[in-house]
Chains A and B, each alone.
Chain A
Amino acid sequence: MNYHVDERGYFGNFGGAYIPEMLYPNIEELWENYLSIIQHDSFQQEFHQLLRDYVGRPTPLYFAARLSEQYRAKIYLKREDLCHTGAHKINNTIGQILLAKRLGKQKVIAETGAGQHGVATATVCALMGMECIVYMGQLDMERQRPNVERMRILGTKVVPATSGNMTLKDATNEAMRHWINHPTDTHYIIGSVVGPHPYPDMVARFQSVISEEMKKQLNEIEGNPYPDYVLACVGGGSNAAGAFYHFLNDEHVNLIGIEAAGHGLTSGESAATTVLGKPGVLHGSKTLLMQTEDGQVEEPYSISAGLDYPGIGPQHAHLFETGRVQFLSATDDEAMQAGIELSRTEGVIPAIETAHAIAVLSKIEFNPDDVVVVNLSGRGDKDLETYIRWGKY
């Protein structure tokens, strides 16, 4: 089974480039150039140097002793929360800004939901002296004030998306519209493994440093590069794509993606796309999508803004369809409790997205010698207000 992208830009039945003609030249330019650019020695050298010196990689693979005791397995945390800007998102933005420079682009646009990808984009644009515009749903701007100001401090212009429900989906629409209107001098840094080919593959490649390091670190610590389980939360799915990447063809590694069940899978307020979605086309790719019978895209719900997306990346749709990745979900309540629990057992306050992955540890029956890696995709500082509002600690 091939779990990676094929030469047509598909992962099995999903993927492709479903874009209006106005975007075709932009996508064609990327499609034709991305592999030769990112596989070039000079690119790889600059990319890895920045990941080391600027982002702070490799991130630790930390043996969580107290958590392991609680769940009776050997649980490791891959500490992406220790990356510069507080989450894995910057692995991708470093890669894409270097690509944008090599394509001769002068400006960058991005979409953001909770603001993490926006901040990671604003950061690399400041680093490279590039002009940057970030689209953010007006509702999200009100909910995530500190991240809006972080972007502004970094010199980025934050533009409110006022269409639709004024959240991530609409910010993505606005960024795509901007790109249609500025086709030659602008690169669009998509923040997840979504969008038209080659974005899902390209973003997964930049994030694959996560599983590359895991293997090396596990080999050093355990004498075996292969864990029994890898757990990662899935909104669009970029941290999961990176955490799974180098294990996809090793079928004995159990890969588990965790979606946000919101108020519950059947509550009507959820973001669990593999349970509630059907194949469809949004933002340039064919994937699983939460939608009405008539094909209108539905607004998902989760307490975590980073999981609040109506689709998943096309590779995840393929991994779900083939059964290579098992998808579980956690509700708002379960995730918040897990966030508090990790804070108290390991002294790590996780992002609420990440807390969803912690929340399913209790739902899996481990053997005591199972090696389990949880991708700790982000830190919880940005979510302090949500924790405070939750209040049960």
Chain B
Amino acid sequence: MEHIETMNRIEELFSKKKQNILSVFFTAGFPSLNDTGTIALSLQQAGVDLIEIGIPFSDPIADGPVIQQSSKQAIDNGMTLKLLLEQVRELRKQVHIPIILMGYLNPVMQYGMEKFFNDATNAGVDGLILPDMPFDEYESVYRQSMEQAGLRNIFLISPTTSEARIRKIDEATNAFIYAVSSSSTTGAKEGFQAEQVQYFERLKNMNLKNPFLIGFGVSNANTFSTACVYGAGAIVGSAFINMLKQAQDIPSDIQIFVSLLKGKAS
């Protein structure tokens, strides 16, 4: 594997903090086109460790209704990938925690893959999650240019991912693994079931090289603290977007949301 000289913000976070990491996902350009910066800054001020910004796409097949609707609204608001990179560049003046862009492959492909890797790094992005990019294609076509640009690529795994494949993904990653909590699209469920907890235990016992964060179905203090027992932390998305839909004052509402979510774990 290639040696990476500079430490990326994601690596730095995971080298300093091993537990109770809170990552929050939101859709760029939602609720309003220029809310991206305000939301990111408020999340940092509320003590969130990591930010995932969703690149809106017209056909988000891995997402449940909440993120679908936020994507549609963001596109209607006029959000584009080019504008998102400008917003990230601007918010980087104040936001210092790691930023990951998450989105479907097609908009990135139209932007130009290599150009995007470079422009994203220059704007201050630390990592990418492209759920529909095939693993083999990442390895054979994009890995080198992505690493050269200084970006980390984060892979998803699910309860049906085989152990051999998890090992392969672990080997190809140097950030963290995104453990999808159940066989499902994004969105709140009613807590974790016993079989999900067994899956978290199985992952924990695999002693992977990379830490893992648990996402999909993490929506409140209860699910967050359960996820933190097994993983290095968790990712909250749909529940946060639901809150944003009704937010009166984004900074103070985010403060309240995050403190409720963290509960006893912090």
| Known contacts A22-B180, A164-B59, A281 near B65 by CB under 8 Å | no
Most buried by B among A279, A293, A294: A294
New A-B contacts (6) at CB < 8 Å, excluding given A21-B131, A164-B59, A180-B184? A18-B133, A21-B156, A25-B162, A173-B60, A177-B63, A180-B62
Establish whether residues A21 and B110, one from each chain, have CB atoms under 8 Å apart when the complex forms.
Answer: no
Chain B CB within 8 A of A282 CB: yes
Closest to B57 in A: A296
A234 close to chain B: CB less than 8 A: no
Whether A173 contacts B185 in the complex (CB less than 8 A), given A21-B158, A183-B160, comes out as no
- Bound form: Cα–Cα A279–B112 in Å: 12
Q: A22-B180, A177-B185, A181-B183 are in contact. Are A164 and B72 (CB under 8 A)?
A: yes
B213 to chain A, nearest CB (A): 14
Report the nearest A residue to B55, measured CB to CB: A295
Question: Does any Cβ of A come within 8 Å of B28's Cβ?
Answer: no
In the complex, what distance in Å separates the CA atom of A173 from the CA atom of B69? 14
* Cβ-defined contact, B106 with A291, below 8 A: yes
Total interface residues on B, CB under 8 Å, equals 41
Query: Is A24 an interface position by the 8 A CB rule?
Result: yes
In the complex, the answer to whether B110 meets A17 with C-beta atoms within 8 Å is: no
Q: 6 shortest A-B CB distances, which residue pairs? A: A295-B107, A295-B110, A20-B131, A21-B156, A20-B62, A296-B58
Check if A278 sits within 8 Å of B185, measured CB to CB: no
Shortest CB–CB separation between residue A190 and chain B, in angstroms? 13
Whether B64 lies near A21 (C-beta < 8 A) is no
A294–B110 touching, CB < 8 Å? yes
Residues of B within 8 A of A278 (CB): 110
Docked complex: A32-64 residues within 8 A CB-CB of B: none
Q: Do A169 and B62 touch (CB < 8 A)?
A: no
Contact of B64 among A18, A22, A177, A282 (CB under 8 A): A177
Contacts of B65 in A (CB 8 A): 163
A351 smallest CB distance to B (angstroms): 27
Q: Which residues of B contact A296 (CB under 8 A)?
A: 57-58, 75, 107
B132 lies within 8 A of chain A by Cβ: yes
Taken together as a complex, chains A and B put the C-alpha atoms of A164 and B133 apart, in Å, by: 23
Which chain A residues border B63 with CB–CB below 8 Å? 177
| Interface set, chain A 158-184, CB cutoff 8 A to B | 163-164, 169, 173, 176-177, 180-184
Q: Which residues of B contact A (CB under 8 A)?
A: 57-65, 68, 72, 75, 80-82, 104-111, 131-134, 136-137, 155-158, 160-162, 165, 180, 183-185
Q: B108: which A residues are within 8 A, CB to CB? A: 295
Select from chain B the residue with minimum beta-carbon distance to A19.
Answer: B132
Kindly list chain B residues whose C-beta atoms are within 8 Å of the C-beta of A17. Answer: 134
Choose among A25, A177, A297 the residue that contacts B106 (Cβ–Cβ < 8 A): A297
In whole angstroms, how far apart are the Cα atoms of A176 and B59 in the complex?
11
B132 touches A20 (CB 8 A): yes
- CB of A294 within 8 A of CB of B107, answer yes
Encode A296-332 as 1/0 by CB contact (under 8 A) with B.
1100000000000000000000000000000000000
CB nearest neighbor in B for A9: B134
Distance A16 CA – B165 CA, assembled complex (angstroms): 19
- B133 (CB) vs chain A CBs: closest residue: A18
How far does the alpha carbon of A376 sit from the alpha carbon of B141 in the complex, in Å? 42
* CB-CB contacts below 8 Å: A120-157 with B: none
Q: Does A77 contact B (CB under 8 A)?
A: no
| A192→B109 CA distance, assembly (Å) | 24
Does B106 contact A181, Cβ atoms closer than 8 Å?
no
Bound-complex Cα distance A280 to B63 (A): 20
CB distance from A172 to the nearest CB of B (A): 8
A110 CB–B CB distance under 8 Å: no
Q: Nearest A residue to B108 by beta-carbon distance?
A: A295
Check A176/B61 contact, CB under 8 A, given A20-B131, A181-B184, A282-B106.
yes
Residues of the B chain whose Cβ atoms lie less than 8 Å from the Cβ of A279 = 109
CA distance A101 to B70 in the complex (A): 39
A139 to chain B, nearest CB (A): 15
Distance in Å: Cβ of B33 to nearest Cβ of chain A: 14
Which listed residue (B75, B81, B132, B183) contacts A183, Cβ 8 A? B183
Complex Cα gap A280–B104 (Å): 11
Residues of chain B within 8 A (CB-CB) of A183 are 160, 183
Q: Does A284 reach chain B (CB closer than 8 Å)?
A: yes
Residues of A within 8 A of B183 (CB): 22, 180-184
User: What are 14 A-B pairs with beta-carbon distances under 8 A?
Assistant: A8-B136, A18-B132, A18-B134, A24-B165, A164-B72, A173-B59, A180-B183, A281-B106, A281-B109, A282-B59, A283-B61, A291-B110, A294-B107, A296-B107
When C-beta atoms are compared, the residue in chain B nearest to A278 turns out to be: B110
A299 to chain B, nearest CB (A): 9
Are A169 and B59 touching (Cβ within 8 A)? yes
Q: Which residues of B contact A280 (CB under 8 A)?
A: 106, 109-110
On chain A, the residues within 8 Å of B180 by CB distance are 21-22
